[in-house]
């Protein structure tokens, strides 16, 4: 089966991922075509939120509702 063929129900949004780092890594690796994404570092922003810098070049944090979002 082609990877371009997406079965109904296979899509997931970043905000739907469980609020754990392993769940984020699993989601990002799947979105990256199976190439493993890992956490390079972490720090706190000015508001005290933990920011996770990932190997895919983006940083992620959890919002007030505990959902993952891209940190800008």
In our burial notation (b when 16+ CB lie closer than 10 A, e otherwise), range 3-22 reads eeeeeeeeeeeeeebeeebe
**CA 64, 66, 70: angle at the middle one, nearest 5?**
85
Question: Cα(39)–Cα(61) distance, rounded to whole angstroms?
Answer: 12
Closest CA to 69 of 16, 10, 32, 30: 16
Q: Could you state, in order of their start, the residue ranges of all structural domains in the chain?
A: 14-70
- Residue 3 is predicted with a pLDDT of 44
The per-residue pLDDT for 10 is 63
Q: What pLDDT, on a 0 to 100 scale, did the predictor assign at position 12?
A: 84
pLDDT in tens, 10-52: 678 999 999 999 999 999 999 999 999 999 999 999 999 999 9
pLDDT of 7 reads 45
């Amino acid at each position: 089966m082609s990877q371009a063929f997406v079965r109904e129900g296979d899509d997931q949004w970043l905000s739907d991922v469980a609020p754990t780092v392993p769940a984020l890594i699993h989601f990002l690796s799947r979105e990256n075509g199976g190439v493993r994404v890992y956490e390079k570092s972490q720090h706190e922003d000015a508001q005290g939120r933990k920011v996770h810098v990932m190997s895919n070049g983006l940083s992620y944090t959890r919002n007030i509702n505990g959902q993952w979002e891209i940190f800008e």
